[in-house]
Amino acid sequence: MKKIFRITIFSTIAASLLMMTACTKKIDEAYANPNADVRVPVEQLLPAIVSSMAANSAGHGTYNDVRFIGKYIQNWQFCNSGDMYDRMCGRLISLGSTQADMTASIFRAHYYDIGQNCVNMIKWAEEEKKWDYAGVGRAIFAWSWLQMTDVQGEVILNQAFDPSRITFTYDNQDAVYDYVRKIGLEAIDFLGRTGDGVSQTNLALGDAYMFNGDVNKWKKFVYAILARSYNHLSNKSTYKPDSVLYYTDLSRAMTTTADNASVKFAYVTGGVSASANFFGPLRGNLSSVTDGTNSAIRQSAYIANLLSGANAAFPGVVDPRAIYLLRKNANGTFKGLSPNKGQTVLAANDRPENFHGVSQTAAVNNTAPSNDANCRFIFRNTAPLPIVTAAEVQFMRAEAAFRKGDKTTALAAYIQGISLNFDQLTTDYNVNIPVGEEITPAKKAAFLSPITNPTVIPALGADLTLTKIMLQKYIALYGIGVVETWTDMRRYHYSDLDPSTGQQVYRDFVVPSGTDLHPNNLGNLVYRVYPRYNSETVWNIEELKRIGADKDDFHTKRCWFSEP
């Protein structure tokens, strides 16, 4: 959250008076910041915290980093060849500070933009008996801690937010998972309290951009995060599918698109860009992504094939969601880029439009249009940016039930997950869709029918596979659940086989190898993001050495959740 400095004559005089009359006070009492109160209403803290869950006015948050993480899972690729992220490489120590922090926004948002602001909001809310704000703060921390450790592995937990320290010790990932569950259950307790300073109307003042003060939706959000924390441990001997099923079912967690946790934006035409969607054309964050090649991202061949019937898992199935999520080319077809190949390997008319609907068959950078009249999905100035969706909850439920052996429950949840994704697109993103290509009730019904679409929708639970579940989840989380999809892919080690088919769970997903894989990987795939260069490498280097994060191949060290 940016602060505008307003140093006035009055504040200068006030500071002078403090010097003369309170010289025995502590410095921080005598020279309080004239531009921000030492203590502010919790209602004023929450909007900036929520904004930082997606991407705030300064550009920090999850969606800043997904521009790069999205290439690990092949949601999109760079237009130039040779990009280190296309080659599944992490931050390079040798690049120095100008390139080292391209995937450090989640770290910064967690420890700084959310961080102490959320700590203070919880503390002050408890003092004021505003239990709902105390619950929301814990809910956000449960989500943020889980995302942090899933992205980075070891993180600073026990010593976090201690202002007396200048160096910090990293904690193991299992401890973070335990803490996520602890603070998540605390959130449920506080969100269930009534009386005192609890008020839906007052909570809505700070919660205008997520759930508008609806504590029941915040509870469902927490249940979804707790379900995630158990679903991620599918490789462990302690994995409990019943825990996933319990939290996805508790209070019917996130069963409609109205339950989706999405950050909304206050932008109006002619307003300031900081209030607009991070991926919209106004903010220009897709125009040229500096990563060493200075080129832009376009949709991948993997997602284009999945939605156009060219993937062997769903051969010949033309998905009506494609026009909502992707862009066509001059030939009117859906094509995409492969890792480390750039767009020049495609014929000019096969090269897709950029995400804002501009044809750029020659340029490797993206031209942002002056308005979003031809923009779709999350690439509009006012489009909401999801954090957790009801569709994801159902796919977690489907996988857990499948692993438990309850194929009937798994199939029902699988179909519901696809249905909810259709509903999300037609509710929140039914904008600028070409006439005649809109998803209609009839199209949705035909896609979800085992009679008209048996390739995707099996008639019996016995015919359901992990491949179907995980690929339909991949589609439902395209662009909006990049970190969660990356966690899924790492759980399946990118290329694990589906025991039902003998083929990869992520069918046709080709990981880079040979010269297409960055030399620093030493033949291994990426499993984590480096700690933030501008804080950790500069100030906490000895601790980085202890956990091995001073090495150029640290990003290939497997995270705890992905191991047995």
Closest CA to 362 of 296, 307, 317, 422: 296
Q: How far apart are CA 520 and CA 92, in angstroms?
A: 8
CA-to-CA distance for 273 and 284, rounded, in angstroms? 10
Q: What is the largest CA-CA distance in the chain?
A: 84
Beta-sheet pairing, 297-299 with 76-78: antiparallel
**Which two three-digit tokens encode residue 395?**
């796919």
Three-state DSSP state, 262 = strand
In the chain, list all ranges with CATH 1.25.40.390.
42-233+521-562
**DSSP letter string over 70-127?**
HHHTTSEEESSS--TTTTT----GGG-HHHHTTT-HHHHIIIIIIIIHHHHHHHHHHH
- Rounded CA-CA distance 385/546 in Å is 37
Token couple for 111? 């420890």
Conformational region of residue 99, where left means phi above 0, alpha means psi within -120 to 50, and beta covers everything else: alpha
Neighbours of 540 (CB within 10 A): 21
Q: Provide DSSP, 375-435.
A: --GGGSTT--EEEE-HHHHHHHHHHHHHHHT-HHHHHHHHHHHHHHHHHHHHHH--SSPPT
Q: What is the pLDDT of residue 271?
A: 84
CA distances from 175 to 156, 297, 483, 512, 560 (A): 11, 36, 20, 33, 11
For the packed helices 215-231 and 241-249, what is the interaxial angle rounded to 10 degrees?
Answer: 170
Q: How many CB atoms lie within 10 A of CB 350?
A: 16
Q: What is the 3-state secondary structure (H, E, C) of 181-224?
A: HHHHHHHHHHHCCCCCCCCHHHHHHHCCCCCCCCHHHHHHHHHH
DSSP annotation of 452: T
**Which helix (DSSP H) or strand (DSSP E) does residue 225 occupy?**
helix 215-231
Q: What does the pLDDT read at residue 253?
A: 87
Q: How many helices (H) and strands (E) does the chain have?
A: 21, 4
DSSP β-bridge partners for residue 78:
297
Mean pLDDT for each 10-residue chunk of the chain (564 residues)? 29 34 49 66 97 93 94 93 87 54 92 96 98 98 98 98 94 98 98 97 98 98 98 97 97 90 92 91 79 74 98 98 97 96 93 93 82 96 97 98 98 98 98 98 98 98 98 98 98 98 98 92 96 88 94 95 97
The class that CATH gives domain 42-233+521-562 is mainly alpha
pLDDT at 24: 43
- Span 455-492, pLDDT tens digits: 999 999 999 999 999 999 999 999 999 999 999 999 99
Q: Which two tokens stand for residue 430?
A: 């039914």
At what angle are helices 215-231 and 390-404 packed, to 10 degrees?
40
Answering whether pTM is above 0.75, one says yes
Question: What pLDDT score was predicted for residue 3?
Answer: 33
Q: Which residue has the tokens 């007396």?
A: 164
